Structure formats: structure tokens, C-alpha cells
Chains A and B, each alone.
Chain A
Amino acid sequence: MTGTAVWTGAPSALRARPFARRFRGWGYAACVAPLVIFLVLTFLWPLGRFLYLAVDNSDIVDNLPRTVAALATWQRADGVPGEDVFGALAQDLADARSRKTDGIVAQLINQRLVGTRYLILKTAKLAEEGAFETAPRAAMLQHFPEWNRVEVWSTIADDSARLTDFYLLSSLDLRRTAEGSVAPAPAGQAVFVQVLLRTIWISVVVTLVCAVVALPVAHAIVAVGPTASRVLIALILFPLWTSLLIRTVIWIILLQANGPVNGGLQFLGIIVEPLDLIYTRTSLYIAMVQVLLPMMILSIVAVMRRTPKDYMKAALSLGAPWFTAWRRVQLPLIMPGILAGCGIVFVFSLGYYITPALIGGPKEQMISSFIAFYTNNTLNWGLAAALSIQLLLLLVLTWCALMLGRGLVARRSAA
């Protein structure tokens, strides 16, 4: 703590300290400097840049500067704009084409108004060839009557600011109306709030199931002798060292319609037709709990080992029923371990991508699946960044909740 205070502190404070302590502070700073620099360069900086895409809208202004300026005083009610705006757009598109950025402009405008990609690309091509140098308005309208649509112009005009809330609103199933107020998205397209709640719900269920399953296992590991304990720990570690992909794919084989689980149940006469086990919420829970359980067990075991067994014995010898003794004496003592385990499992669950993709149906896809989809498939990086911000906020909130929980536990055990 003092180390931190020294190297970020004021110079006057530095002078007041003995040389050796000052040196130690700088020494610590030097020790972590490579790590900090590495983190900033390879993690924080790219992450920040990507997240900035959620509000960044500079591509339109940068590529169509003259058009944006010419449209500054234009209103929707004015109808199709005049000669100067057409001339500005022709020049801008010709420049964009020679810089090879016309594709980006076309993509951005097409994202907001579907069916305009070819219009922009073809206009840019002819503009570069000089087709609109004289009387641009008449020439452009003659080649491409779509420029008669006021929506195309208002789309460009609406996007003339450098920052936009379009993606952040979209990621919450909201959008701006033509009048500028915020309104809910149409029912068929409103999906993100549902997915966000689903992500939280799946993570909560997985965390709770892990906690309930892990407690008896952890208890057994601590209670049995050293050899048995080591064997049990090894059994828990082995799956942890196996690739996540393999652990997930094995469940596909086990749970499929003609797999061993259905086969066994049919053989025993419990079911006639195979059950739908795979590509369901249940299969996702099973696979995620299996993958994440070791983390929970290990964090509980770590705390249980440090807990003296005498307290529990004392409570029992004083006549408390076993469960009361466990709930009032043992549970508060191991609570920090449970909380730490829950934190790890919950945070890991939030970002799950491969397991739901392989073993869940479409209704099991979580936020990460949508981030990947918008990044890779439709190149809508703004929306991908906005969704990433949601995930990051969830992470921060979880951390705050954990800190709060730890504080409460500490206060209660102190009281």
C-alpha cells in the first residue's frame, strides 16, 4: 500500500521519505511496469477502441464532409434537396471511391435504410468517372431515380453527428423516431432485452446448481482422510484439464436421440420414444454445470480447510440439531468461499459462447453469441460494441455485488 502511495504521491511527500523507502516504491513500480504496459497496449487500448465503436459515427462525416455541411440547414419537409447538395454528394462519393471507402459508406447507409447499397456504390462509380460534373442534380436523378426518395437524404442528414446513440438504443430494443423521441422497437426485432435477461437467468441457475452440488462434495473432500482427499481432488482436476470443447462434445454424444442415455432409458422401459435431451435448456445446464463445477468446489474447499472443525463439534455437543449447527455455525464460516465460487462461476457463465452454440438450441443462445454474430456475420461492429458494453457492465455489477456480499458476511461474523 505504501508502495503505491509513494510512486503516485506528490514530490513533496517523496522528499520527506527516507531514500530506501522511496527506492522500494519505485522498485515495485518497475516490477509491475512491464505487465501494466503490456496490459494497456494489448488489452485496455484495443478494448477501449472497440467499445468506442458503440457511439462512434465519424465514418459518415469523414467520408461525406461536403454533403453533411450542405445538408446542415435542410429539413425533411423541404423535400428532395437542391443542386448544391447533389453536387456536394457527387464530389464526396467520387473522393470516397478513389480512397476506396465508398463500400463503408454504402454499408453504413444500407444498415439504416435497407436497399441503398447498390445505389451508393453505383453512384460513386459514375461520380468518379465524372458523370455528374455538370448539372449534378438532373444527371443523378436521371441515372438513379432512387435519389428522389426523401428517406435517403434524411438518413444521411440524421447521421451527420460524430457521436450516435443508435447502437446503444438498439442494444436495449429502443430506437429514435423521426421526431427524435425514443420508442420501443417493433416486436419482431426486439430481442436484446430478452437475451440479456436470459443470459443472467442461465448464469444464476448454473451458479446456484453448482453451489448446491459443490457443498456436499467439498464437505466430503475435507472430511475424509488425506489419501482419499487427494484422489477426490485429482478426480475434480482431471476434467478441468480436459479441453472445454471435448467436455461439451461428449455431452452431445451422450444426450443425442440415439445416444446411450436415451438408449438406457428405453432399455429399462422408462420411455418409449427418445426424449429431446440435446439442443435444449436442460442439456445446456448439464454441460455448463459440469464444466464450471470444479471452480466452485475448489474455492469452497480452500475455505473449508482453514475452518476449524471444533466450532461445529461444539455446537453439536451443546445440543443443536445437525442442520441448525451447520446453518448457523458452519455456513457463515465458509460463506466467503461460497461467495468467491459463485462469483467465478457466474462471471464465467455470463460470457459462455461455445457450449451454448454446440449444445443449446436457438433459444439458449446468450449475449456472446450475438456479439460474435454482429462482429463476423453482418459486420455491425457498432451494435457488437454496444452489446459488449452490456456484458462489461454486468461484470462490474457482479463485482460490486460480491464486494457488498463479502462486507455483509464480514460484518455479521464480527457481530
Chain B
Amino acid sequence: MRMRCALGAAMLMLAVPAVSVTWAEEGPITVVGWGGNWDKAYKEGVWDRYTEKTGTKIVIEEWAGEIAKVRAQVQSGNVVWDLVAAEAPSVEIGCAEGLFEPLPASVTGDPASYLPGTIHECGVASDTWATILAYNADRIKGEGPKSWADYWNVEKFPGKRGMLAQAQYTLENVMMADGVPPSEVYNELRKPGGVDRAFAKLDQIRPHVVWWNTSTQAMQNLASGEVVMTDQYNARVSNDIEKEGKNYVIVWEAGFFYGTDLWALVKGAPHREATLKLLTWFSEPQNQAGFSNLYAYGTGRKEAADFVAKEKLDQLPTAPHHIKHGASYDDAFWVENKESLEERFKAWLAQ
């Protein structure tokens, strides 16, 4: 009896790899997003609709954009992720290093039909987002901050401020607080002494800052009154206003920067063909729009806007009444300077 059991178990073990091999092609596809409500919006607005239509299962994982994790998978030959949403500079680096696969136009569609910066040799836009200044109107009654200079003005607006604990996305706000218009920020940062100027400005606000590493932390601090204002990703704030009825205000006119994350296909992805099919489907404008309808971030195809509700379009960073206050992140600046500036920022923080 025992013998037969063992034999049965052994046969089962032999059968399992066979089953998984037949599965491998059609998924489940592993997509890696930014977590939380972002992933939820992608699941409900995009992935579930694809699964419904084709039957291909999609598994969602989350990361914080650490390209080292992709590199570790590719170099060890043990790739478990198929599709990752990565920041544009990471896609640039990953593409050059061969961590991501180039996507043919047969998958992405005509590059000319995309908004500037939303299509790359190795990626297609997952979301266009902005880092904005937001405040809690329950804590700041009356007239709120109007500019990044106000964010630095602790006499006029007492209370702590939330700030992202990294150089990228923060130094831009610092320069705006120092009176530089968004369009000039990178020119000033590139000048000799430009970065020193930003760190000198940071020294001024330092005692009043509560640093954050994840949006959840920042929003929790804003809700509890630990901070009265914070820098944040725009949709995160819109989401809490809309879904949780929070009395937050996004100060678009203070100036903001926007950037694009891209879906990139990992080299050696276990379900490469299935993922390419998914990307082909995703590049249809009406399918991209599913995300923007649930979360206040834009996508790549110009025509996608035709499928997004009017009140949702108005919340996007790229809406005409917003974008006149903003400027685009300079990916080239960050590709060259990211490591050195992050290391300097980390050292500055710790001192």
C-alpha cells in the first residue's frame, strides 16, 4: 500500500512539470506595478477586461522601481517577471543594458500616435504622472499655500511638511521654491554650483520636514495632521479626495513636474509571447483609457483621451489648465546624475 502511494506521488511529481510546460505560453502573465490603488486601477480598468476577453490570467506583483531586481533576474537566468512598470530613466538604462526587450511597432502601433515621451524603444507608457504640492484644508484654514516658496514659509504656514526622502523629484521642487520657473530648473541645476544652491535651500527647511519613502506614509501623515502639507503624486491625492472624502487641495499653480513610467518586457520573460499579445491589445487607445478612467494619470496614445470621461481628463497633469504650470522631468539629467545625487542626498540626510 505504502509502495503504491509512493509510486503515485512520484508519478504526480513527474506530471506537474508537464502540466506547467503547457501552461507556460498562455500565462499567467506576471505584471509588476507600483502597488496600492495604482495596481487596483490597472487591475479593474485594464487587466480584468483582458482576462475576461481572452481567458489569459494576469498575476499582479508590486515593486518600488528597483532595477537591480530586474538585473538580478536577467543575470541569473531566473526570470519570473514578464512585464514591469518602470520609470523612464530606468527603462533607458535597462534598454541599453539589455534587461528589457525592444518592442516592435507591430506591438505598440505607430510611434507618431503617442504623446511625446510616452513611447520608447523598449517601452510603452503605463502612466503619465506628476509630483504636486498638496495641503490639508482642515489644518490650514483660510488662504492656503500658493507656491513652493509658501511651502518654505513656516511663519505664514506653521506646521511640519512632508517631503520625499530622495533627490530625484525633490530637487526640482527645491529649485522652484528658490524662485526658478519650472522650465529653467534643469538649466540651473546643470550650472556649476546649481546643485549646491539646491542643497543650501534644503538646509533652510530641514528642521520642519517629516521625510517619507512611500506614498502611504506621506498620506497617513497628511491625514493624521503630522504634516500640514506634502509633496505627492497627483493621483494619490485625487484618489483620497474622491474615495475617502478628504479635504485636500492640490496646488497645481505652485508649479509641478510630470513624467512617464513605461511598461517594459523583461528579457527572457517566461511568457514572452503571451505578454506581447497583451501589449498589442493594450496599445489600443480604448484599452489604455480604462486606467485613466479610474486613476488620475494619463497614458500614451493621443486618441486614448477620446475614451476618458471629461471630469477625469480635467484631473490629469496633462490637462490644458494644469500643464501650463508644469514641466517635464529631464530623463537625461537623471540618467547621468541619479547615483551621485542620490548618494549625496542620502549623506546630507544622515548628517
Q: How far is it, in angstroms, between the C-alpha of A111 and the C-alpha of B339 when the chains are bound? A: 7
Contacts A100-B98, A121-B96 given; indicate if A257 touches B224 (C-beta within 8 A).
yes
Is A191 positioned at the interface, with any CB of B under 8 Å from its CB?
yes
Contact B346 A370 (CB under 8 A): yes
Q: How many chain A residues touch the partner (CB < 8 A)?
A: 41
Q: Provide the residues of chain B in CB contact with A380, threshold 8 Å.
A: 339, 343
Is the Cβ of B347 less than 8 Å from the Cβ of A256? Answer: no
Q: Distance (Å) between the CB of B221 and the closest chain A CB?
A: 8
Cβ–Cβ < 8 Å partners of B225 in chain A: 257-258
**Contact, CB under 8 Å: B347 / A378:** no
B346 cross-chain contacts in A, Cβ below 8 A: 191, 370, 373
Kindly identify which residue among A100, A363, A370 contacts B97, using a CB–CB cutoff of 8 Å.
A100
Q: How far is the CB of A240 from chain B (nearest CB, A)?
A: 26
Q: Which residues of A contact B94 (CB under 8 A)?
A: 103
CA distance A186 to B344 in the complex (A): 11
**Chain B residue contacts of A370, Cβ below 8 A:** 346, 350
Distance in angstroms from B193 CB to nearest chain A CB is 13
* Residues of A with C-beta under 8 A to B344: 188-189
Tell me if B226 and A256 are in contact (CB < 8 A): yes
Cα A100 to Cα B94 in complex, Å, equals: 10
Q: Is residue B154 within 8 Å, beta carbon to beta carbon, of the partner chain?
A: no
Identify the stretch in A10-18, A112-120, A301-309, A330-338 within 8 Å (CB) of chain B at 4 or more residues: A112-120
**Chain A residues with Cβ under 8 A from B22's Cβ?**
none
Kindly supply a per-residue 1/0 record for chain B positions 335-349, scoring 1 wherever the CB is within 8 Å of any chain A CB and 0 otherwise. 111111011101111
Return B179 CB to nearest CB of chain A, in Å: 24
Among residues of B, the one whose C-beta sits closest to the C-beta of A380 is: B339
Contact (A103, B349) CB under 8 Å given A256-B224, A278-B226:
no
Q: Name the distance in Å between B274's Cβ and chain A's nearest Cβ.
A: 24
Pairwise interchain contact A103-B96, C-beta atoms closer than 8 A: yes
Q: A370 to B165: give the CA distance in the assembly, Å.
A: 13
Which A residues touch B165, using CB under 8 A?
362
Smallest CB-CB separation from A115: which chain B residue?
Answer: B336
Please report which residues of chain B, range 315-351, place their CB below 8 angstroms from some CB of chain A when the two chains form the complex.
Answer: 332, 335-340, 342-344, 346-351
Q: With A188-B344, A378-B339, A379-B68 given, is the CB distance from A257 to B211 under 8 Å? A: no
- Determine if A110 is an interface residue (Cβ-Cβ < 8 Å): yes
- The answer on a CB contact under 8 Å between A103 and B68 is no
Residues of A with C-beta under 8 A to B343: 189, 378, 380
Q: Shortest CB–CB separation between residue A57 and chain B, in angstroms?
A: 17
Q: Which of A115, A357, A375 interacts with B213 by CB under 8 Å?
A: A357
Can you name the residue of chain B whose Cβ is closest to the Cβ of A253? B224
Alpha-carbon distance between A376 and B213 when the two chains are bound, in angstroms: 13
A389 at the interface (CB under 8 A from B): no
Residue-wise, chain B 161-172 has the 8 Å CB interface mask toward A (1 for contact) of 000011000000
Asked if A86 CB lies within 8 Å of chain B CBs, one says no
Are B347 and A191 in contact, with the CB atoms below 8 A?
yes
A102 contacts the other chain (CB 8 A): yes
Report the separation of the CA atoms of residues A188 and B343 in the bound assembly, to the nearest whole angstrom: 11
Beta-carbon contact of B339 and A110 below 8 Å: yes
With A and B bound together, what is the CA distance between A278 and B227 in angstroms? 12
CB proximity of A175 to chain B, nearest CB, Å: 13
Verify B336–A363 contact, CB threshold 8 A: no
From B67, B224, B337, contact of A258 by CB (8 A): B224
Is A195 touching B350 in the complex (CB atoms < 8 A)? yes
Task: Establish whether residues B342 and A378, one from each chain, have CB atoms under 8 Å apart when the complex forms.
Answer: yes
* A-side contacts of B350, CB under 8 Å: 191, 194-195, 362-363, 365, 370
Q: Mark A362-402, 1 if CB is under 8 A from B, else 0.
A: 11010000100101111111000000000000000000000
Q: List 5 A-B contacts (CB under 8 A).
A: A107-B339, A357-B213, A361-B211, A365-B350, A376-B66
Residues of B within 8 A of A (CB): 64, 66-69, 71, 93-94, 96-99, 160, 165-166, 199, 210-211, 213, 224-226, 332, 335-340, 342-344, 346-351
Closest 10 CB pairs of A and B: A103-B97, A100-B98, A362-B349, A191-B347, A376-B66, A378-B339, A114-B340, A103-B96, A258-B225, A121-B96
